[in-house]
Structure 1
Amino acid sequence: MNKSDFKFIFIRIISNILIFGAITILYLTYGAWAKDNLLFIATKARGVSYQLSTNSDNPEDPSLLTALKERKPLAISPVNSDFALVIPQIGLSVPVVKNISITDKAKYLEALKFGVAHAKGTVLPGEIGNSYYFSHSSLNFWELGSYATSFNLLNRITPGSDIYVFYQGKQYQYRVLQTEIVKGWDTVPYYREFVKPMLTLQTCSPPGTTINRLLILAELVEQ
């Protein structure tokens, strides 16, 4: 093997390693988001939906993969009654971590490993004002945690659908009014003031970036 052949083989090997590495990083970063969206589309095509259940002994798995295997409506329950979020339309049931700063990156990244974050300084469920929740729809692989991609399907939520918040043993039902996209640096949604109980969900758009923020605005349904 001459020097020219060795150089050619070396370049080929390095190129393949770089391509494989890039594909791996893309998969780890966006794989969960893509999988959840594909499963959501498939379950809707089969006519499968979720229905809220407060039965803590419910044995059904509220995952989209389970829904793909079924045709009947699946029950979805809150993971706890202390502070949890349930969105039947997208099959989401997650715990909520209370009073998390939106400006302290280290703290909110740590909190998102344990659930969706409730923004510090915003009202609690059922109270008048803006009850604000945020989570990522995709993260770099070194930051991923069990709940870091909880809002993967937030873009699938439509006006008129219901969002349930469970707090200190009580259930609060909110109805979606609108969705909107704002610039990533726009903090106006966080500081919005309301004269009635409102809820805001926030995630990144496009997934894994800080370019824009996808927002879901909902109002409390009279009990």
Structure 2
Amino acid sequence: MFPKGTIYNAKKDKTHGEIVLTLSKSSLFFYTLIRGVGAGLIAFSVLAFLFTYGPIAKEELSYSLKKEVNDEPALTTESFVDMASADRVIAVQKEANDLGLDSHFSIYIPKIEAASNIVANVETGNESEYLAALKKGVAHGKGTYFPGQGRNIFLFSHSTDSPYNVASYNAVFYLLRKLETGDKITVFFADEKFVYEVTDKVVVSADDTSYITREYPDERLVLQTCDPPGTTWKRLLVIAKRSVS
């Protein structure tokens, strides 16, 4: 069926020349037919594969893409709340910092421009302890509460037994007597801002400590300093109620 024989013999033939090979029309038709059938079979196999496994591959790909999307952190309500809380903390920290204060625990009284950090849990009956604390700032009475706890918060600027010491420890609350009902007091605590409004101002004897543990129906801030300024004769108390906006 196929042509056979020697195409070139170096011993008998010329060293160079041209050889032309041709197929008969029937052989050419046969080879073309075989090639076409082969290509058709390949195409049919590919289409059959896609038809059979295409839907499966589509579902697998769709599942993988959905899983990647679902695995990404979603912005839930809790996430937005956390973001809002973080923004509030940053704002409070900046406000305190602009006043030269620490938002951990500090006080600012706009009317008299009094600003100071607060030393927490200072024993009011221990002179060496509270004098050391007052060199750092305003003192918070040990045993009283903190902002946000709904109880009595006691802060004092000094309590000395010598006019000489007053000059060293009385600077922060020196103008406390200028406060009047309705004046605002800001306390920064644990990166939160608490605002209080003055409700009362009283003068008591130096040995009267009842106001330290006095119970109020709501959260109150009690500020104490010596009175008159520059003496240790009496105590001036400014009482403020928390303002909740």
- The interval holding the TM-score normalised by the smaller chain is 0.5 to 0.7
Instruction: Summarize the alignment of residues 1-223 of structure 1 with structure 2, pairs less than 5 Å apart.
Output: 54-55=94-95, 58=98, 77=99, 79-136=101-158, 140-141=163-164, 145=168, 148-223=170-245
Cα pair 1:83 1:95 within 8 Å, conserved: yes
Give me the whole-angstrom Cα distance separating, in 2, the residues matched to 1:133 and 1:105: 15
Change (3 A) 1:55 1:222: closer
**Local SS of the residue matching 2:216:** coil
Q: Which has the higher strand share?
A: 1
Q: TM-score, normalised by structure 1?
A: 0.63
Percent of aligned positions with the same letter in both sequences?
36
**Local SS of the residue matching 1:178:** strand
Equivalent residue number for residue 12 of structure 1: none
Cα pair 1:86 1:165 within 8 Å, conserved: yes
**Local SS of the residue matching 1:81:** coil
Q: Stretches of 4+ moved more than 4 A in 1?
A: 137-145
**Local SS of the residue matching 1:160:** coil
Q: TM-score, normalised by structure 2?
A: 0.57
Alpha-carbon offset, residue 142 of structure 1: 5.8
Cα pair 2:166 2:231 within 8 Å, conserved: no
Higher relative contact order (CA 8 A, sep 6+): 1
Alpha-carbon offset, residue 97 of structure 1: 0.4
Equivalent residue number for residue 29 of structure 2: none
Give me the whole-angstrom Cα distance separating, in 1, the residues matched to 2:97 and 2:139: 26
Give me the whole-angstrom Cα distance separating, in 2, the residues matched to 1:200 and 1:56: 21
Cα pair 2:204 2:235 within 8 Å, conserved: yes
Change (3 A) 1:142 1:192: closer
Alpha-carbon offset, residue 172 of structure 1: 0.2
Give me the whole-angstrom Cα distance separating, in 1, the residues matched to 2:235 and 2:130: 16
Give me the whole-angstrom Cα distance separating, in 1, the residues matched to 2:116 and 2:189: 12
Change (3 A) 1:197 1:143: closer
Alpha-carbon offset, residue 188 of structure 1: 1.1
User: How many residues are aligned here?
Assistant: 153
Cα pair 1:82 1:167 within 8 Å, conserved: yes
Give me the whole-angstrom Cα distance separating, in 1, the residues matched to 2:97 and 2:103: 13
Equivalent residue number for residue 41 of structure 2: none
Cα pair 1:136 1:149 within 8 Å, conserved: no
**Amino acid corresponding to residue 186 of structure 1 in structure 2:** D
Change (3 A) 1:180 1:206: same
Q: Deviations over 1:39-58 (max 9, x none)?
A: xxxxxxxxxxxxxx954664
Q: Which has the higher helix share?
A: 2
Alpha-carbon offset, residue 191 of structure 1: 1.6
